[in-house]
């Protein structure tokens, strides 16, 4: 990947070692915003990644997702909190920080700091991603970027009251 400030050099994944070490390599490449190394060595045309915002299939879709993410959160940093491996499965508990400065899944950059935790479940085959399921608290993210009001605030209470009123009306209408 090339940008106006620097050129990244392809970094090959470790050829030996555990799948957990391979996942650590991939997180290092994500922190370096090195989509090219991941595209060439980590994902395949058959890889499937289930993000909370949608599913990406194949190298091009997955790479495009991360390129959009890095454009939206240029200072994104993923820290591995814990990692566990069992056969072809690797589970990672991670901590993400950054600033939401660009468009992410249709939401324009807010300039807000983001700081939350999540988990990945990787299933690997031949040292590459077969599937990856990513989970994090989307409501926490939405509150941090000010898309949703703070939990328990007056605005939050009003939003929940309006939703509950709508739910009651729909329930009454559907019973008729």
Q: What is the pLDDT of residues 18-27, one digit of tens each?
A: 999 999 999 9
Ranking 8-17, 22-31, 120-129, 160-169 by mean pLDDT, the lowest is 8-17
Q: What are the backbone angles phi and psi of residue 76, rounded to the nearest 5°?
A: -50, 135
Query: Is residue 39 within 8 Å of 108, Cβ to Cβ?
Result: no
pTM: 0.87
CA gap 103, 105 in Å, rounded: 7
CA gap 102, 141 in Å, rounded: 14
């Amino acid at each position: 990947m090339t940008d106006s400030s620097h050129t990244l050099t392809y970094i090959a994944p470790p050829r030996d070692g555990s799948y957990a070490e391979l996942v650590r390599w991939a997180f290092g490449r994500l922190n370096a915003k090195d989509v090219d190394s991941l595209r060439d060595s980590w994902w395949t045309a058959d890889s499937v990644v289930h993000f909370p915002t949608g599913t990406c299939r194949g190298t091009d879709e997955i790479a495009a997702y991360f390129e959009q993410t890095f454009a939206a959160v240029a200072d994104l940093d993923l820290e591995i909190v814990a990692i566990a491996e069992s056969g072809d499965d690797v589970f990672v508990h991670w901590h993400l920080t950054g600033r939401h400065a660009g468009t992410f899944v249709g939401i324009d950059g807010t300039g807000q700091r983001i700081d939350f935790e999540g988990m990945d479940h990787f299933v690997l085959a031949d040292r590459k991603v077969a599937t990856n399921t990513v989970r994090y608290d989307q409501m926490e993210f939405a509150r941090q970027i000010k898309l949703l009001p703070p939990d328990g605030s007056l605005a939050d209470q009003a939003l929940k009251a309006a939703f509950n009123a709508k739910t009651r009306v729909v329930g009454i209408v559907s019973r008729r």
